[in-house]
Amino acid sequence: MQDQLEQIRTEALAEMQEVETLETLEKLRIKYFGRKGLFTDVMKGMGKLSKEHKPVIGKLSNEIRSEITNKFDQVTEELNQQKHERQLKEDTIDITLPGRRRQTGRRHPITQVLNQIQLIFKGMGFQAVEGPEIELEFYNFDALNTPKDHPARDLQDTFYIDDGIVLRTHTSPVQIRVMKETTPPIRIIVPGKVYRRDYDITHLPMFNQVEGLLVDHHVTFSELKGVLYSFARQMFGDTIQVRFRPHFFPFTEPSAEVDISCIFCDSKGCRVCSHTGWLEILGSGSVDPNVFKHVNYDPEQVTGFAFGMGVDRIAMLKFGITDLRLMFENDMRFAKQF
């Protein structure tokens, strides 16, 4: 056994002198120290040795293992150094070549408009709050006075995750959550992503929305009009015209859609405004008393108004973008235009 170990030492050290690659060195390591390696096989015979020979062979085997292992480490370091030097020679940088200019990032048009919307309403005393995008039907529909048979609750309009759980279709559920935890006065806006089953040049299954809510004693519809007039003119300019059209929303009564004079044709009529001279930008109305009942507010004591707008649509109107899908293609050429 002693002769076998000495032979292994001689052969292993000799073979390592001829190794030129790390791959060959690894194969050599397996040859001697693998599960079926030469050194491993010899050491399996230790159990058959007499008590007198075991200490001698054990000491010798440890000495040989240590010597070969150290040699492996030395050769590995030398080969790695050689590989590194070759890479340095092959990857030499030609400093005479012209540099590559870095592209400068730009704020996305939706981000720009969202920031401006929040800035405008914060200037009027509104506080921005956020809420979950995965929502219970109670907050998304029931508490907002939306009946079970309302078309908005159909599978072709709403993404259902599970029974009673949806991807929120608007940020209005956050209004309910805030009112359940807070007593009036309340003055909030709720920016965030919402989800609906739509996909065309003006609609996407995911888009950005900002809801607004003001609740206090003796809040009137005229105050709603004043807030939205101020918003429209700060967003689109002092010359913009604003009109309110009667509409219906389950959670407001009375309700109104808000239009601005067409910024593309100066209200003369064009393809964008369908030759009406007006563009719809948001929906609004006085909070329905039934909504207050869901949050344990007394509709005889408090009143309020709410409004909601699509940030993506506002961005399209403000910047003259004709296809909503352009804003989600991550094309720097597009972003640089704004």
* Whether residues 220 and 282 fall in one domain: yes
* Span of 36-40, 244-248, 288-292, 324-328 with lowest mean pLDDT: 36-40
Write down the pLDDT at residue 297.
Answer: 93
Give domain status of residue 95, yes or no. Answer: no
Please determine, for residue 147, whether its predicted confidence score (pLDDT) is greater than 90: no
Give domain status of residue 289, yes or no. Answer: yes
pLDDT digits 0-9 by tens, 109-133: 899 999 999 999 999 999 999 999 9
Write down the pLDDT at residue 213.
Answer: 95
Let me know the angle formed at the C-alpha of 302 by 147 and 149, rounded to the nearest 5 degrees. Answer: 5
* Whether residues 257 and 121 fall in one domain: yes
pLDDT digits 0-9 by tens, 230-277: 999 999 999 899 999 999 998 999 999 999 998 888 888 888 788 888
Of 269, 281, 176, residue with least CA distance to 236: 281
* Whether residues 15 and 54 fall in one domain: yes
Write down the pLDDT at residue 130.
Answer: 93
Contacts of residue 162, Cβ cutoff 8 Å, sequence gap at least 6: none
Give domain status of residue 102, yes or no. Answer: no
Give domain status of residue 103, yes or no. Answer: no
Please determine, for residue 84, whether its predicted confidence score (pLDDT) is greater than 70: yes
Write down the pLDDT at residue 202.
Answer: 61
CATH number of the domain bearing residue 121: 3.30.930.10
Give domain status of residue 47, yes or no. Answer: yes
Q: How confident is the model at residue 322 (pLDDT cuts 50, 70, 90)?
A: confident
Q: Estimate the crossing angle of helix 221-236 against helix 311-319, to 10 degrees.
A: 40
Torsion of CA 86, 89, 90, 91, to 10 degrees: 120
* Whether residues 163 and 238 fall in one domain: yes
Residues in the chain: 338
* Whether residues 117 and 47 fall in one domain: no
pLDDT digits 0-9 by tens, 16-63: 888 888 888 888 788 777 877 777 777 777 767 777 777 777 777 778
Cis upstream peptide for 185 (omega within 30°): yes
- Reading the block at residue 123, the tokens are 């200037």
The last residue of a domain, from among 90, 121, 152: 90
pLDDT, average across residues 143-157: 81
Give domain status of residue 56, yes or no. Answer: yes
* Whether residues 75 and 148 fall in one domain: no
Q: How confident is the model at residue 7 (pLDDT cuts 50, 70, 90)?
A: confident
What mean pLDDT is reported for the chain?
86
Cα–Cα distance measured from residue 32 to residue 39, given in angstroms and rounded to the nearest whole number: 5
Range of the domain at 252: 109-335
Share of the chain above pLDDT 90, in %: 39
Of 289, 273, 290, 293, residue with least CA distance to 281: 273
Give domain status of residue 211, yes or no. Answer: yes
* Whether residues 86 and 119 fall in one domain: no
pLDDT, average across residues 88-113: 81
* Whether residues 76 and 116 fall in one domain: no
Write down the pLDDT at residue 254.
Answer: 93
Share of the chain above pLDDT 70, in %: 97
Q: How confident is the model at residue 172 (pLDDT cuts 50, 70, 90)?
A: very high
Please determine, for residue 200, whether its predicted confidence score (pLDDT) is greater than 70: no
* Whether residues 189 and 327 fall in one domain: yes
* Whether residues 278 and 312 fall in one domain: yes
Number of domains in the chain: 2
Let me know the angle formed at the C-alpha of 278 by 145 and 329, rounded to the nearest 5 degrees. Answer: 80
Give domain status of residue 267, yes or no. Answer: yes
Write down the pLDDT at residue 201.
Answer: 62
* Whether residues 115 and 29 fall in one domain: no
* Whether residues 270 and 215 fall in one domain: yes
